[in-house]
Amino acid sequence: MISRFTDKKCDAGMLSPLTLAFIGDTVFDLYVRETIICQANRPAKMLHGEAIKSVSAAAQAKKAEKLLPFLNEDELAVFKRGRNAHTNHVPKNSSERDYHYATGLEALVGWLYLNEKGERLDEIMKICFEDGEERA
């Protein structure tokens, strides 16, 4: 179960969805990286290549789609706020839809993290990476 690194008070409900996605991106990435290094010791280039498979917008969008039926009302609202947030750009290597779904997932992960809902965050990540899907 992940816990916060600082004891600073932070009202996640008052943060913009893109701010939640900003921290959620890092939490998601840390989860993927930890999973990879626990599988085997590999050169950094190989580790990076494996991580990219799970943290790309397309991969995160797939995970978000799989996750949607399992979200409660509050979680779904946070996801939708992130998905519908106005971004200034979409990376050229992803579709606009995938980028927005990935942002929704990252916003949800950030919200769970900042609200110290570690057990639920663990459940969410397990759902994202279950069914033999590439787990980084």
pLDDT (0 to 100) of residue 94: 85
pLDDT at 131: 62
pLDDT of residue 1: 54
Quote the pTM value.
0.88
| C-beta pairs of 125-134 under 8 Å, 24+ apart in sequence | 125/31, 127/66, 127/67, 127/70, 128/63, 128/66, 128/67, 129/35, 129/54, 129/63, 134/53, 134/54, 134/59
Q: How far apart are CA 55 and CA 52, in angstroms?
A: 5
pLDDT in tens, the chain (136 residues): 566 677 778 888 889 999 999 999 999 999 999 888 888 888 888 888 888 888 899 999 999 999 999 999 999 999 999 999 988 777 778 899 999 999 999 999 999 999 999 999 999 999 998 864 444 4
Determine the distance from the C-alpha atom of residue 92 to the mean position of all C-alpha atoms in its chain, rounded to a whole number.
Answer: 20
- pLDDT value for 134: 47
- Going by the DSSP 8-state scheme, the letter that residue 12 receives in this structure is G
According to the model, what pLDDT value does residue 107 have? 97
Q: Kindly list the catalytic residues.
A: 25
Question: Distance between CA 12 and CA 110 in Å, rounded?
Answer: 8
Q: How far apart are CA 126 and CA 60, in angstroms?
A: 13
